[in-house]
Amino acid sequence: MKNLLLAISLFLFLFNGCKPSNRRNNPENLKEVLIDYFGGIKTKNYQKMKDLTTSDFVLYEDGKIWNNDSLIHLVKNSPKFTAEYTFKDFKITVDDSTGSMYYSNHGAFIFNDTSHVNFDWLESASFKKINDHWKIAFLHSTTKKK
């Protein structure tokens, strides 16, 4: 009986030690949330934008303080547009309940099917895990100098 308990204990110890790292804390998960959030802006899916952010979400951009409601109001009242976002140079840190990143964002916009405008930003974001889901708590965006 003693040998059986020892064998079971050894098996459990080895099994737990060989488990893959916690998928929920993978930096790629934060990147996915960020890209999905901008996808919500692009497709004007306001519920998605809200679902991917904390209730106290804040965006600092262009010297202004925004939240989802003010950003949604801006998008709804903008001329008809399409947008494509391209992200690169991600630097991501993550632990069990928080994460942060900085990256470059290129936005290509077409307004009223005729006017093409491009923007390049340096951005950072912080994340919180709420009910086992990553959410954006804060975004900061600065226009990149050429």
How far is residue 81 CA from its own chain's centroid? 22
Choose between 12 and 50: higher pLDDT: 50
Mean pLDDT of 27-47: 97
Tell me the C-alpha distance between 46 and 1, whole Å. Answer: 61
Summarised one tens digit per residue, pLDDT across range 93-107 is 999 999 999 999 999
Q: Quickly count: other Cβ atoms within 10 Å of residue 57's Cβ.
A: 21
Summarised one tens digit per residue, pLDDT across range 85-137 is 999 999 999 999 999 999 999 999 999 999 999 999 999 999 999 999 999 99
| Residue-by-residue DSSP string for 41-88 | HHHT-HHHHHHTEEEEEEEEETTEEE-HHHHHHHHHTSPSEEEEEEEE
**pTM across the whole model:** 0.82
What CATH number was assigned to the domain covering residues 26-143? 3.10.450.50
Where are the chain's structural domains? 26-143
Do the strands 64-66 and 98-111 form a parallel or antiparallel pair, or are they unpaired?
unpaired
Mean pLDDT of 26-48: 96
